[in-house]
Chains A and B, each alone.
Chain A
Amino acid sequence: MKTLNITNTIKLVAILCISTFTLSSCSNDHDDELEHGTEEELITTVTYTLTSGNNVVNLIFTDLTGGSLDDATYEVSGSLTANTTYTGVLKLENATESPAENITLEVKAEGDEHEFFFASSIADLTIEKTDTDVNGNPIGIETSVSTGNAGTGTLTIVLKHEPTKPNDGTSANAGGSTDAEVTFDISVQ
């Protein structure tokens, strides 16, 4: 080691550096930026279909850009009939993908980790979850909706990921993280 040559060491360092700089600049010309463009977990569309015989009411929420709801649309196809029981079915989609991805299937498959919650400002409106997960707890993709007296108000639908199950039926006490929260203006006539 007495004969250790400092200039050799410096040369080695220099070669290492140059090769690294060269290698890194080679790997640099990847242009995969455009691949990053899609937000795959996005829920763009929430459709709540209420059916009672031939009477069908659709509540449709759409926000194709994700992010702020400034450009979102809420479409309610008509009013509900008083003192009637409807069958409710929820459908969540990501329409930025083609064909649109049906997210309801994922929620159903992971039913024990998800639950929908419903809340309405119309006192007489009751919504009961009719489907269950593997543990026998409600999910809420399928519901039974009973209207009472006429009135107007809002209906809020919340999808929670990893809520406490079973729970007391309110989203506030179920915890978890909110994957979707949509409010429609509805009327019962």
Chain B
Amino acid sequence: MKLFYYCVFVCCLYTTTSAQKCNLSFKGKVTDFHDSSIIIGASLQIENSNKYATTDFDGLFEFNNICAGKYTIIIKHVACDTKRISISITEDTFKDITLEHHLNELNEVIVKTNTKTKITSVEQSLKKAAIDNFTDKSLGDALSTLSGVSSLNTGNSIVKPMIHGLHSSRLLLINNNVRMFDQEWGDEHAPNIDINASEKITVVKGANTLKYGSDAIGGLILIELKKYAVKDSLFGSTISSFNSNGFGGNINSEIVKTYKSGLYAKLQANYKQFGDFKTPDYYLTNSGLKSINTSFRIGYNGYEKGFSAYYSFVDNEFAILQSSHIGNVNDLVNAINNKKPRVTEDFSYDINFPKQAITHHLAKIEAYKRIKGFGKLSVQYDLQINRRQEFDLRRGDLRNTPVIDLRLFTNSLQTDLEIDYSDELKLNTGILVRYQQNDAIAGTGTNPLIPDFDKYEAGAFATANYKLNFDTEFNAGFRYDFSRIDARKNYNLNDWQETYNYDELFPEFETGVINGTRIFTKPEFTFHNFSASLGFSKSFENDISLFINYGLASRMPNPSELFSDGLHHSAARIETGLLTINKEIANNFIVSLERNNDDFGFVISPYYKYIDGFIQLIPVGITTTIRGAFPVWEHNQIDARIFGIDIDVNKKISERFNYKGNISLLKGDNLSDDIALIHMPSTSFTNSISYTKKELNQLTVRLQNRTVLQQNQFPDYNFNTFNAIQQQDVFVDISSTPPAYSLFNIQTSAVFKAFKKGSLKLEFNVDNLFNVSYRENLNRLRYFADELGRNFNLKIKINY
């Protein structure tokens, strides 16, 4: 750089002191930055002059008879970014000039319906407009509108996404290229993500995304941020939402500043609060929530190099239905038999016990460099701190002390190299190292459900995408991951020696420290995971394309599957992990036939998964404690098969009317025991008709119906238990599923002009229009209360 300025300085001196020499030539060659190919027919102009030149078949150009001096050259070519360069001519000069063919790298990502994460993958996505509809809801709520995606709920605010019946550790959640680690192992642990910070959310079905991990047995959820145009601009938006049910809502604001140099910055903040929600017949006492989220981004978006830094903070406080806190199995029987929850008080904003309080910090820094004629290298470091506190109803001094208090610290360093100079063959490879530490914070007055542990991971992957011709592509990949977990845990001596026989199976874990009835151990496990993927895509006439994917994924057991050991109040069950649990290995096949057309489009996507060593949590017996009898749920491994089909259809009925529908069919089998798999989503279908009148303030009215059928295929884990008070056996029906339900929703929206260049969007929606009482099989609190009744929702979005 210094040399450059020096040159300029010298040149300026020269041009001002010497007489004009006007017989110089300026020659050069124009090539593509990307793959060094010759650019033919690029036009060059010396600014503020009438001197033009065009590159020939060798990419060469020539200006003759120019005077010595400093010039600005403007280089233009179809499909390339116009480039301006400054040059000083003091003698005959030859210069190599490169142009960018890949405009989209610099500009705003224009999200098209067919923009895929990977050309061959089977995926569906939600764009900003759809995400805005869920501004006051959760990630799980937003995604469950997609076919094949459902949710596992604990009440109505703790919502876990489920893809093809699989959830928790079987789904990878990638937030802005960072894999989320937020103690996702528990059924009642929802991902800590504020969807308002995202621009696009993609669900990749099947295991074909090796870049992010080898354990995506169920699939992957990709949360992406917006890419900003390289121009000077300042803009923002505010969206506020108010709901009659829960008497609360949400306010989200964001402001973005971009510069022509490629620099950008964004600040976003969100506040959400709800009080007790209401079913058609009663208030759900203690079901409110409070959530504060904020995110900040800064970066430099250049073609050859750039960087970005991102920080987000999520603070959630969820009340858990008071009636769901029960003691023993008799309390559970009472709850199941009583149609109404035991506590139904008047509306309140109070968040009492039981509740969850969770904070999640995520920070990342990323830098990339594009290498001429080769590809792009990126390096990323990210750090996450997740603190989870769960409060139960407790006595005396422990009243305000959480029963679970865990802090999970994760940090990763990863590199990613995209070799994309060839149009036919693109390679992607990368390595990852990660260190994770869980701290079961002392002072809870309980044995921690998850022990202290350290986890070390290292992985490497390579994928190749080969374009056979303009309509056929292949993709193949391989990934290896090493992981090691070092835990420290106290076991009940009797359990260690008698119940599980660990003293003989794992004598190496014993430390020799025995404290009364407890034995202190240091379990250590090492896993080697391999995964692979194969993909094929072909486009046909009439906007039809076909995708075929195969994926091999393997997942090491998560800490709860290995170590959990304790009482879960809301479920009235004792949950036990086993040290003998090994990794699970899945073979996924998915095919998708798609027609991407606004007049009539469809997606028909059948899939088949075979999971070897599928880890499930099922009831295995009863233990009686001082609190009474509890079913014991133990993790075990079986061979499982899940298959089904997702179908989406869209049809333009007339200029103003549009139809959209989808149906998801799924069957899950426990092949080892020849019964159905537990917690599988039942058949559901959605139909909606929308009316749009663009000229009348973009008025849209949509009527939607969603029907969920009863799950008739469930494993029967019902049992009898002795009731000491009644002095007789009682039947505990924990397996039977609730009946089918059908809900109607109405959504209306209109856009108005506001300010000089801003706009104002008004939305009015009604959920559960007919105030139907129903229960959902995949809600863990279905034994205790109905789902939500009618809700009126008003949203105001202002763009400025």
Q: Which residues in A have some Cβ–Cβ distance to B below 8 Å?
A: 1-4, 6, 9-10, 12-13, 16-17, 20-21, 24-25, 28, 30, 32-44, 46, 61, 63-69, 71-72, 103, 106-107, 109-110, 114, 117, 119, 121, 154, 156, 158, 160-162, 164, 170-173, 175-183
Contact = CB atoms under 8 A, between A and B. Distances in A.
A68 B263 contact: no
24 contacts: A6-B369, A13-B365, A24-B435, A25-B435, A28-B437, A32-B442, A36-B440, A36-B444, A36-B448, A41-B395, A65-B492, A67-B495, A68-B625, A107-B395, A110-B395, A158-B724, A158-B725, A160-B327, A173-B334, A175-B335, A175-B338, A175-B342, A176-B342, A179-B627
Contact of B445 (A39, A119, A161): A39
A16 B311 CA distance: 15
Contacts of B439: 30
Contacts of A154: 724, 727
Interface stretch (B41-49, B513-521, B661-669): B513-521
B626 A180 contact: yes
Given A36-B440, A175-B343, 17 more contacts: A1-B261, A4-B302, A10-B367, A13-B379, A16-B365, A34-B520, A36-B442, A36-B448, A42-B626, A46-B626, A67-B625, A119-B725, A156-B724, A164-B343, A171-B330, A175-B342, A183-B724
Contacts of B518: 37
B310 interface: no
B437 A13 contact: no
Interface string B424-454: 0000000000010101101111111001101
A40 B409 CA distance: 27
Contacts of B396: 103, 106, 109-110
Given A37-B490, A41-B445, A177 B331 contact: yes
B488 interface: yes
Contact of A13 (B1, B328, B367, B448): B367
A12 B413 CA distance: 13
B381 A4 contact: no
B29 interface: no
Nearest to B440: A36
Contact of B623 (A68, A110, A170, A176): A68
B395 A179 contact: yes
Nearest to A178: B327
A36 B446 CA distance: 7
Closest 7 CB pairs of A and B: A178-B327, A175-B342, A40-B445, A106-B396, A177-B327, A181-B628, A9-B367
A42 to B, nearest CB: 8
B211 interface: no
A161 to B, nearest CB: 6
Contacts of B365: 9, 12-13, 16
B641 interface: no
Nearest to A161: B393
A65 B435 contact: no
Interface in B50-95: none
A178 B624 contact: no
A64 B338 CA distance: 35
B489 interface: yes
A13 B492 CA distance: 44
A164 B342 contact: yes
Nearest to A25: B435
Interface of B: 1, 261-263, 300, 302, 305, 307, 322-323, 325-328, 330-331, 334-335, 338, 342-343, 365, 367, 369, 379-381, 383, 393-398, 409, 411, 413, 435, 437, 439-440, 442-448, 451-452, 454, 488-490, 492, 494-495, 513, 515-518, 520, 569, 623-628, 724-727
A21 B411 CA distance: 8
Contact of B381 (A17, A110, A181): A17
A40 B445 CA distance: 5
Nearest to A182: B626
Contact of A33 (B328, B520, B725): B520
B397 to A, nearest CB: 8
A6 B305 CA distance: 7
B627 A180 contact: yes
A16 B364 CA distance: 11
Contacts of B393: 161-162, 177
A22 B444 CA distance: 28
Contact of A63 (B342, B394, B626, B727): B626
B83 to A, nearest CB: 14
Contacts of A65: 492, 494, 517
Contacts of A171: 330, 725
A78 to B, nearest CB: 22
A152 to B, nearest CB: 13
Nearest to A61: B626
A13 B381 contact: yes
A4 B305 contact: yes
A41 B446 contact: yes
B395 A175 contact: no
A77 to B, nearest CB: 20
B724 A20 contact: no
A161 B411 contact: no
Contacts of A25: 435
A66 B625 contact: yes
Contacts of B338: 175
A106 to B, nearest CB: 4
B335 to A, nearest CB: 8
A69 B626 contact: yes
A17 B452 contact: no
Contacts of A42: 626
A156 B727 CA distance: 9
Interface centre among A67, A72, A121, A162 (most CB of B within 10 A): A67
Contacts of B625: 63, 66-69
Given A37-B515, A176-B331, A1 B628 contact: no
A122 B520 CA distance: 46
B543 to A, nearest CB: 41
Contacts of A158: 628, 724-725
Contact of A4 (B300, B383, B440, B488): B300
Contacts of B262: 1
Contacts of B513: 34
A42 B492 CA distance: 15
Contacts of A40: 398, 445-446
A34 B305 contact: no
Contacts of B628: 158, 178, 181
Contacts of A2: 261
A38 B398 CA distance: 13
A156 B725 contact: yes
A25 B437 CA distance: 9
Nearest to A21: B435
Contacts of B516: 37
Nearest to B324: A177
A127 B300 CA distance: 78
Nearest to A2: B261
Given A39-B445, A69-B625, A178 B330 contact: yes
Given A103-B395, A106-B396, A171-B725, A6 B445 contact: no
A176 to B, nearest CB: 7
A20 B383 contact: yes
A6 B367 contact: yes
Nearest to B409: A24
A183 to B, nearest CB: 4
B759 to A, nearest CB: 32
A181 B727 CA distance: 13
B325 A36 contact: no
B490 A33 contact: yes
A13 B363 CA distance: 12
Nearest to B394: A41
B263 A1 contact: yes
A53 B494 CA distance: 43
Contacts of B437: 24, 28
A25 B436 CA distance: 10
Nearest to A4: B300
B626 A43 contact: yes
